[in-house]
Amino acid sequence: MVENDVNDRARPGRGFAMSEDDVRVSKRWLALREAADAAARAQDLVQHLAQEPPATGRWVIHDLACGTGAMGRWLAPLLAGPQHWVLHDRDADLLEVADVPGPAADGAAVTTETRLSDISRLRPLELADATLITASALLDVLGEDELAAVVAACAVTGSPILLTLSVVGRVRLAPSDPLDRRVATAFNAHQRRRTERGRLLGPDAFAFAVEEFGQLGADMLIRSSEWKLGALHADLTSEWFTGWVQAACEQHPELAAEAVDYARRRLTQLAAERLAVTVDHADLLVLPRPAVRIAPS
Ligand SMILES: C[S@@+](CC[C@H](N)C(=O)[O-])C[C@H]1O[C@@H](n2cnc3c(N)ncnc32)[C@H](O)[C@@H]1O
């Protein structure tokens, strides 16, 4: 799954069949990354959205794979008008605490409901009332068929779709270290690993989504949304780095011996405020053109 969630395997979500291969994300990790995520997302894409408020005057926003609702906590105060957020996730424990308190940019009310869903199996009817669909930090954990299904389910609605913080497989650490590249390559291979649900797209997911929406004739706006981590984010950086290296070693066990010293070196640099990390992500705003919307099946 994303970055350091690789070690967070736990019991399945209550009342929902997650497979053994499904890696769970902890509330702690989501809380740790929330501020960096908020700083990284491309705000100018929201201005494009704001220019075309829903004809009904009320946003109905389906957030796919919402976690604890961080996307909504970022976006709701940036959009004017009443909003109803439908928060989808397959993890019941996360949904239990998921919340988007609002208010909207103009003080309008924000309401929420949660739905235990596998977002790769959404039926068109489930998104039919959407005036906006969002997802954040999701695409890399999906396989090709799953992402194609998500794209199709979203495109049917004809609503705009905002997909933020997709990892694209590029990480920079400064100063550099001879092991950086090998760890990065092994980590990316881990993201593309085969699971019982098929091979995950990992860092290829963003390009795949762009290709799929492109084939549907949608207009798209793409922005980069880097995490720039340094001394101010020591806890997040340390957690991210540790998970990054562990995933790399899980993929290529022959790295493990060297990785012990490497991790010690890097974490010492971090503690001494001598390490800066950039994790590249990309944001995508899809604006379907009415003429090319596909009909609900
Ligand atoms: C890295 S977290 C991001 C959470 C949230 N969007 C955020 O930005 O904080 C990925 C989320 O995707 C959810 N998820 C992954 N695959 C899913 C699926 N097939 N159906 C529903 N939720 C899924 C996980 O449970 C997790 O909450």
Q: What is the rounded distance in angstroms from the CA atom of residue 258 to the CA atom of residue 248? A: 12
Whether the Cβ atoms of residue 32 and residue 40 lie closer than 8 Å to each other: no
The verdict on the CB of residue 98 being under 6 Å from ligand 1 is no
The protein residue whose alpha carbon is closest to atom 10 in ligand 1 is: 138
The verdict on the CB of residue 120 being under 6 Å from ligand 1 is yes
Question: Is 85 strand, coil or helix?
Answer: strand
The verdict on the CB of residue 263 being under 6 Å from ligand 1 is no
Mind listing the pLDDT tens digit for each residue in 37-61? 999 999 999 999 999 899 999 999 9
The protein residue whose alpha carbon is closest to atom 11 in ligand 1 is: 65
Q: What is the rounded distance in angstroms from the CA atom of residue 83 to the CA atom of residue 95? A: 19
Asked if residue 46 is part of any domain, the answer here is: yes
The verdict on the CB of residue 89 being under 6 Å from ligand 1 is yes
Please tell me whether the peptide bond between 175 and the residue prior to it is cis, using omega within 30 degrees of 0. yes
138 CA from centroid of ligand 1 (Å): 6
DSSP state of 128: T
Asked if residue 179 is part of any domain, the answer here is: no
Pairing relationship of beta strands 194-195 and 219-224 according to DSSP bridges: unpaired
For residue 20, the model assigns a pLDDT of: 59
Which structural domain range is residue 71 located in? 3-168+199-226+281-292
DSSP state of 22: P
For residue 17, the model assigns a pLDDT of: 59
Q: What is the rounded distance in angstroms from the CA atom of residue 35 to the CA atom of residue 235? A: 12
Angle at 73 between CA 70 and CA 79, to 5 degrees: 130
Asked if residue 154 is part of any domain, the answer here is: yes
CATH of the domain at 108: 3.40.50.150
Residues 6 or more apart in contact with residue 224 via CB below 8 angstroms? 42, 280, 281, 282, 283
Asked if residue 84 is part of any domain, the answer here is: yes
Asked if residue 241 is part of any domain, the answer here is: no
Single-letter residue type at 129: D
Q: Which residues of the chain are modeled with pLDDT < 70?
A: 1-22, 290-297
Atom of ligand 1 nearest to the CA of 30: 9
Neighbouring CB atoms inside 10 A of 199's CB total 12
Atom of ligand 1 nearest to the CA of 119: 20
Give burial (CB, 10 Å; 0-12/13-18/19+) of 244.
buried
The verdict on the CB of residue 205 being under 6 Å from ligand 1 is no
The verdict on the CB of residue 141 being under 6 Å from ligand 1 is yes
Q: What is the rounded distance in angstroms from the CA atom of residue 214 to the CA atom of residue 227? A: 27
227 CA from centroid of ligand 1 (Å): 19
Alpha helix (H) residue ranges in the chain: 27-40, 44-50, 70-75, 92-97, 144-157, 180-191, 205-215, 234-251, 256-271
Whether the Cβ atoms of residue 197 and residue 21 lie closer than 8 Å to each other: yes
Q: What is the rounded distance in angstroms from the CA atom of residue 167 to the CA atom of residue 155? A: 22
Query: With the CA atoms of 142, 116, 5 and 234 taken in that order, what torsion angle do they form, in degrees rounded to the nearest 10?
Result: 120
Whether the Cβ atoms of residue 292 and residue 218 lie closer than 8 Å to each other: yes
Q: How many domains does the chain have?
A: 1
Tokens of 174: 């400064």
50 CA from centroid of ligand 1 (Å): 25
